[in-house]
């Protein structure tokens, strides 16, 4: 295999019910890992969904603090997620297999006076047995106060988590042969000849071009993104207001899948990067989640996608040199972007319309 090729496995998970034990979820995740490393060629990087170890608990209003805390992994400056007792067996197994993983989880950060809670993902290197990078979800969707409608699918991420605030790309050692390394005379711009550059997003982040562009500006070649996306939630997604009749469940799911793929293909294309996008899917706690796990190339084409709504490996070997055309032509950012025209983008978060006409 060429020295620029990397084999990825997107490990789509079927539903994790609220009543499922941690052990049963871990055992399904370990089977997916085993499957990913025993295929040919074996996966070098396995990507799991957002909040992979538990049910998507922000869909519930949970007044019982003990239950709420049970979904989080405790971390501190001395102890990262791979040491959290609930999930240590997962990371130990990853280390034994010598594979790399991206995995999403709920983080309880005990680093200051007060515990802070985040919706996080880590990139863990099984070869070196350590967390190489951690990402905290920046765009938290939903609401703080629960929807009053009985049976509504809640989305309480704004209640349970604090926002992350940075998009830091990172290089991953050991995936490709003859990568340029730092030496006093190494070039500053390596044009894809160093160790691969990855970025991480979580779920709702994929709908916002800002994170993708932040990674594009750091030369990211692969963006990894896990998600839990509700297939039917009229309070949250789209609008029936101007439709002649409300979307049926089937129509709504089709539209959510369309917007999922639109966000992934468009942003991969506009930043000339691959993306590996992984769902937790199926009927979870009586609420449907879309599948749609897919791997996208820098031209915006889907190169592999899930066929089921359950546990499934979707794999592809990606030639990272395919990012070069976009990065040096249409989306050569340094040559074509116009900072002088973009001032508003950092001055304003929400919409301010031009004044009314007289
Ligand atoms: N987990 C998520 O971030 N879900 C959102 C839904 C609520 C719109 C998503 O963007 O898929």
Kindly give the confidence (pLDDT) of every residue in the chain, 358 residues in length, as a single tens digit, with 9 standing for 90 and above: 557 999 999 999 999 999 999 999 999 999 999 999 999 999 999 999 999 999 999 999 999 999 999 999 999 999 999 999 999 999 999 999 999 999 999 999 999 899 999 999 999 999 999 999 999 999 999 999 999 888 888 999 999 999 999 999 999 999 999 899 999 999 888 889 999 999 999 999 999 999 999 999 999 999 999 999 999 987 787 665 566 678 889 999 999 999 999 999 999 999 999 999 999 999 999 999 999 999 999 999 999 999 999 999 999 999 999 999 999 999 999 999 999 999 999 999 999 999 999 9
Q: Compute CA distances 65 → 71, 75, 150, 160, 204, whole Å.
A: 10, 18, 22, 11, 26
Residue 33 Cα, ligand 1 centroid: separation in angstroms? Answer: 25
pLDDT, position 117? 98
3-state secondary structure of 216: helix
Ligand 1 binding residues, C-beta < 6 A:
50, 141-142, 155, 203-204, 207, 227-230, 236-237
Q: Looking at ligand 1, which atom is closest to the CA of residue 139?
A: 3
Taking the C-alpha atoms of residue 5 and residue 64, their distance in angstroms, rounded to an integer, is 48
* 75, 157, 203, 280: the active-site residue: 203
Q: Please, are residues 230 and 55 in contact by the beta-carbon 8 Å criterion?
A: no
The domain defined by 5-347 carries CATH number 3.60.110.10 = yes
Nearest to 240 by CA among 230, 251, 231: 251
Where do the structural domains in the chain lie, given as residue ranges? 5-347
Residue 204 Cα, ligand 1 centroid: separation in angstroms? Answer: 5
3-state secondary structure of 104: strand
* 107, 134, 137, 322: the active-site residue: 137
pLDDT, position 242? 65
Q: How many Cβ atoms sit within 10 Å of the Cβ of residue 240? A: 11
**Token pair 């996008």: residue:** 277
The verdict on whether omega for the bond into residue 41 sits within 30 degrees of 0, i.e. cis, is: yes
Sequence-distant (6+) residues with CB within 8 A of 177 are 3
pLDDT, position 236? 80
Nearest CA owner, ligand 1 atom 10? 204
Strand order in the sheet with 302-305: 170-171, 197-202, 222-227, 274-279, 294-296, 302-305
Answer yes or no: 299 catalytic.
Answer: no
Q: How many Cβ atoms sit within 10 Å of the Cβ of residue 146? A: 14
Q: Residue 5, class by beta-carbon neighbours within 10 Å (0-12 exposed, 13-18 middle, 19+ buried)?
A: middle
Q: Please, are residues 276 and 222 in contact by the beta-carbon 8 Å criterion?
A: yes
Residue 137 Cα, ligand 1 centroid: separation in angstroms? Answer: 11
Q: Is 191 left (phi over 0), alpha (psi -120 to 50) or beta?
A: left
Q: Looking at ligand 1, which atom is closest to the CA of residue 233?
A: 7
pLDDT, position 167? 98
Nearest CA owner, ligand 1 atom 3? 204
Q: Best substitution site from 230, 231, 232 to test ligand 1's pocket, by max atoms within 8 Å of Cβ?
A: 230
Interhelix angle 88-97/22-38, nearest 10 degrees: 10
Answer yes or no: 50 catalytic.
Answer: yes
Q: Looking at ligand 1, which atom is closest to the CA of residue 228?
A: 1
Nearest CA owner, ligand 1 atom 1? 228
Q: Please, are residues 76 and 111 in contact by the beta-carbon 8 Å criterion?
A: yes
pLDDT, position 237? 75
Residue 313 Cα, ligand 1 centroid: separation in angstroms? Answer: 22
Q: How many residues does the structure list for the chain?
A: 358
Residue 208 Cα, ligand 1 centroid: separation in angstroms? Answer: 12
Q: Looking at ligand 1, which atom is closest to the CA of residue 260?
A: 11
Q: Looking at ligand 1, which atom is closest to the CA of residue 51?
A: 1
Nearest CA owner, ligand 1 atom 4? 229
Query: Per the confidence metrics, is the pTM higher than 0.95?
Result: yes
Residue 297 Cα, ligand 1 centroid: separation in angstroms? Answer: 23
Residue 228 Cα, ligand 1 centroid: separation in angstroms? Answer: 6
Instruction: Report strand pairing: 130-136 vs 116-125.
Output: antiparallel
């Amino acid at each position: 295999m060429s020295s620029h090729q990397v084999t990825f496995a997107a490990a789509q998970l079927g539903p994790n019910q609220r009543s499922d034990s941690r052990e049963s979820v871990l055992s399904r995740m370990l089977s997916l890992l085993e499957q990913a490393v025993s295929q040919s060629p074996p996966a070098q990087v396995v990507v799991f969904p957002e909040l992979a170890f538990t049910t998507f608990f922000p869909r519930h209003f949970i007044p019982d603090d003990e239950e709420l805390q049970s979904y989080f992994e405790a971390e501190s400056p001395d102890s990262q997620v791979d040491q959290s007792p609930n999930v240590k067996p997962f990371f130990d197994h990853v280390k034994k297999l010598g594979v790399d993983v991206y995995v999403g989880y709920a983080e309880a950060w005990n680093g200051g006076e007060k515990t802070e809670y985040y919706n996080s993902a880590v990139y863990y290197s099984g070869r070196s047995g350590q967390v190489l990078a951690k990402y905290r979800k920046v765009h938290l969707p939903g609401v703080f106060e629960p929807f009053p409608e009985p049976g509504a699918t809640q989305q309480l991420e704004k209640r349970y988590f604090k926002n992350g605030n940075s998009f830091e790309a990172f290089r991953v050692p050991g995936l490709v042969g003859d990568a340029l390394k730092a030496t006093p005379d190494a070039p500053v711009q390596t044009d894809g000849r160093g160790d691969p550059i990855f970025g991480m997003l979580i779920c709702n982040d994929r709908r916002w071009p800002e994170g993708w562009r932040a990674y594009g500006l750091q030369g990211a070649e692969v963006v990894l993104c896990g998600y839990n996306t509700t297939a039917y939630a009229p309070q949250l997604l789209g609008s029936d207001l101007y439709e002649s009749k409300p979307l049926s469940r089937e129509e709504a799911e089709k539209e959510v899948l369309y917007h999922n793929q639109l966000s992934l293909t468009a942003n991969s294309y506009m930043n000339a990067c691959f993306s590996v996008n992984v769902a937790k899917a199926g009927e979870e706690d009586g609420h449907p989640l879309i599948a749609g796990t897919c791997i996208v190339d820098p031209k915006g084409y889907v190169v592999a996608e899930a066929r089921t709504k359950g546990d499934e490996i979707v794999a592809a070997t990606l030639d990272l040199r395919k990012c070069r055309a976009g990065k040096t032509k249409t989306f050569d950012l340094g040559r074509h972007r116009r900072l002088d025209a973009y001032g508003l983008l950092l001055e304003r978060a929400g919409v301010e319309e031009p004044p009314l006409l007289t």
